[in-house]
């Protein structure tokens, strides 16, 4: 009997067994999500639906359970009566214990529901609905396919294929407008949009009902958002392995992070799905619409109440002040703003003041600690040691001048040819080069890729991190060197990957005339393969339009340099290994993510390089036949963000150079491939 039993299947069984013995019976949504994706690539669409719908349900239940438990425990263990430190810590511990017991009673052991940030981002970006709409389409359940497609498109309006799928669904028999629902619609935004439509059609009575409901839902969503901020916090810029914090420092850092999270709820609640920038003046607009709608319904006291509420947010607004005076004359007495608006604004101002104080305190502490305790990561060009210079000796400290944008420097290697510069590519800080590596080197690296690359490697195990219509495989420099040591690939080929990436780095650094060292931020040997049977009428991109160090916001024509973007990246390059495939062209666009300014057809030895910011939005057209392989490279000018795997690879290469044969390899070297992209 032929039995296929993978490690993932084994882990799935173990996890499900553990779950069945816990108090709760909720399956982890990351496990269900992974099972659904596996089923998709087996073309088992019934299982895709079963697991993916289960994952969405589990995700929602975990979120709501956390909200309910944290709010309940917050009420049971308030800070109001706390006057001493020990009382404060007592409340913190009791509240934490209460929350843990409450959550575990509902969903089971919490450790089973600790999910990676990448999976959470997939759910926030509504990626599961992309799989669902394809699965429902295959199962001929067009009403559910339409709903899934519509839900996905609301958060991904730039997705060309989904837009066209929606048009096709609308034209099919068996679907009607009622099927195109947003399954993840936020009630406060839904009511607000409905209110605006009724207001614009002069249905003021209906608009009032919708805006009042929107306000109730907004304040409810605000409470839930703040409750979700009360859990464990991430300390991205602090190394808890190297530093020993005192209890007070940790508590201060935690609550500053939680406070910042709560303050961001204002932005979150006013931001529509798929948008990076919030709707301007969102909450006050409710009161603005309401004051005029009530006036139109001859409900002047209510109109004045809403106008006064608006002025809480925009004190002294000339137009609204005139309205208040008019309403006061009409009713003959004064009317106060709504208590809810006063309470909300008062709390918001207090948070802002505390956040400023807390951030200053933490930043001052971090600066002093970094000054006296911190050993920085080793920058390129040192021998592994860095001299400590006391602050008293840094008398002439000045900020480094900003990097001047230049290009046209030497190409370093005689064989390399300049094909197009920034002007020819209709942009800034762009270059297209040929013959960076030879045909034989392309063939050797392609063969290496076929042996070393694994599905999703480098993108946290995702088989197709950008589109389900292609198989994505990758490998890092360190991994290839490990394979070379183990004899699974020729060591010569592994060294070629290392050397080719260094060649690319030197060319980019020289051509753009950089006045400081360019360091590797991430290096990836990657292949994209078109999946047979999924290419008909395909209009999506292999890699959607994006920028490499900021969050592209086409609607606002901005690129926000903030996490989760890799803000430390400065330059990027793609070194192509082949051209025998269909599609897969590299494209530059305007900030609108639609207007193509330049297109590059990959071929062996061709390299495109560019600065990583919002001036260079780019993407990859769909690979519709064959396999596209390349070496993807990202660079930084900041040595603190140098690629850790590259440092390890440097050590491996040095060890190889210092040893006369592979048999003398130092097996104690820390070769531990780590995904950092």
Strand partners, 598: 588
CA angle 159, 165, 168 (to 5 degrees): 150
Tokens 């490990």 sit on residue: 482
DSSP at 400: P
Residue 109, both tokens: 């052991």
Q: What DSSP string runs through 477-534?
A: HHHHHHHHHHTSS-HHHHHHHHHHHHHHHHHHHHHTT-SS--EEEEEEEEEEEEPTTS
Closest alpha carbon to 604 in 492, 500, 523:
500
For the chain, give the number of residues. 677
Task: Calculate the alpha carbon distances from 381 to 82, 377, 639, 642 in Å.
Answer: 54, 12, 10, 12
DSSP at 68: H
Residues 566 and 456: their CA atoms lie apart, in Å, by 19
Closest alpha carbon to 577 in 607, 598, 603, 552:
603
Task: Calculate the alpha carbon distances from 343 to 271, 285, 334, 339 in Å.
Answer: 22, 17, 20, 6
Q: Is 628 marked active-site?
A: yes
- Cis link prior to 564 (omega < 30° from 0)? yes
Which residues 6+ apart lie within 8 Å of 62 measured at CB? 26, 29, 107, 113
Q: Which of 95, 226, 628, 646 is catalytic?
A: 628
Q: How many Cβ atoms sit within 10 Å of the Cβ of residue 198?
A: 20
Active-site residue list: 628
């Amino acid at each position: 009997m032929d039995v296929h039993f993978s490690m993932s299947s084994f882990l799935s069984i173990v996890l499900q067994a553990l779950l069945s013995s816990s108090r709760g019976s909720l399956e982890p949504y990351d496990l269900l999500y992974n099972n659904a994706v596996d089923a998709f690539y087996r073309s088992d669409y019934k299982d895709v639906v079963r697991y993916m719908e289960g994952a969405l349900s589990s995700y929602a239940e975990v979120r709501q359970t956390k909200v309910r438990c944290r709010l309940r425990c917050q009420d049971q263990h308030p800070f109001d009566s706390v006057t001493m430190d020990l009382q404060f810590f007592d409340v913190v511990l009791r509240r934490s214990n209460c929350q843990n017991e409450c959550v575990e009673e509902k969903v089971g052991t919490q450790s089973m529901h600790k999910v990676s940030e990448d999976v959470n981002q997939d759910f926030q970006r509504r990626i599961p609905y992309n799989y669902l709409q394809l699965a429902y389409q295959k199962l001929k359940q067009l009403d559910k396919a339409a709903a899934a497609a519509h839900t996905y498109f609301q958060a991904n309006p730039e997705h060309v294929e989904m837009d066209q799928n929606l048009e096709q669904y609308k034209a099919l028999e068996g679907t009607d407008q009622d099927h195109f629902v947003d399954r993840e619609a936020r009630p406060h935004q839904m009511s607000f949009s409905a209110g605006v439509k009724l207001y614009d059609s002069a249905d003021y009575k209906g608009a009032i009902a919708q805006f009042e409901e929107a306000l109730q839902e907004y304040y409810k969503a605000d409470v839930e958002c703040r409750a979700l901020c009360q859990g464990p916090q991430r300390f991205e810029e602090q190394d808890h392995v190297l530093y020993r914090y005192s209890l007070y420092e940790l508590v201060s850092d935690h609550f500053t992070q939680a406070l910042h999270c709560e303050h961001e709820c204002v932005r979150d609640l006013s931001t529509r799905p798929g948008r990076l920038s919030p709707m301007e003046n969102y909450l006050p607009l409710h009161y603005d619409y309401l004051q005029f709608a009530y006036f139109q319904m001859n409900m002047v006291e209510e109109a004045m109440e809403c106008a006064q509420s608006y002025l809480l947010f925009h004190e002294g607004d000339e137009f609204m002040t005139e309205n208040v005076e008019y309403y006061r004359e009409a009713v003959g007495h004064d009317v106060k703003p709504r208590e809810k608006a006063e309470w909300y604004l008062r709390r918001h101002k207090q948070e802002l003041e505390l956040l400023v104080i807390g951030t200053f305190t933490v930043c001052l502490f971090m600066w002093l600690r970094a000054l006296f305790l911190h050993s920085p990561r080793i920058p390129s060009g040192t021998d592994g040691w860095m001299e400590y210079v006391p602050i008293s000796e840094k008398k002439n400290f000045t900020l480094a001048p900003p990097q001047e944008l230049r290009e046209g420097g030497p190409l370093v290697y005689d064989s390399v040819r300049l094909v197009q510069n920034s002007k020819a590519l209709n942009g800034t800080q762009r270059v297209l080069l040929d013959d960076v590596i030879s045909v034989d080197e392309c063939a050797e690296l392609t063969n290496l890729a076929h042996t070393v690359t694994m599905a999703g490697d480098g993108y946290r195990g995702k088989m197709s991190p950008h589109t389900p219509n292609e198989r994505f495989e990758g490998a890092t420099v360190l991994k290839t060197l490990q394979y070379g040591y183990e004899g699974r690939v020729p060591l010569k080929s592994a060294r070629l990957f290392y050397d080719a990436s260094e060649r690319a780095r030197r060319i980019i650094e020289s051509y753009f005339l950089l006045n400081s060292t360019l360091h590797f931020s991430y290096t990836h040997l990657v292949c994209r393969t078109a999946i047979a049977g999924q290419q008909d009428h395909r209009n999506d991109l292999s890699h959607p339009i994006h920028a490499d160090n900021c969050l592209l916001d086409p609607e606002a024509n901005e690129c926000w340099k903030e996490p989760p973007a890799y803000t430390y990246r400065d330059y990027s390059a793609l070194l192509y290994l082949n051209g025998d495939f269909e599609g897969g062209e590299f494209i530059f666009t305007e900030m609108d993510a639609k207007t193509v300014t330049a297109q590059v057809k990959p071929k062996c030895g061709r390299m495109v390089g560019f600065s990583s910011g919002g001036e260079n939005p780019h993407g990859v057209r769909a690979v519709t036949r064959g396999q596209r392989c390349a070496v993807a490279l990202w660079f930084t000018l900041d040595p603190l963000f140098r690629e850790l795997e590259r440092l390890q690879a440097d050590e491996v290469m040095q060890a190889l150079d210092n040893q006369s044969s592979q048999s003398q390899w130092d097996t104690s070297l820390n070769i531990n491939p780590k995904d950092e992209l």
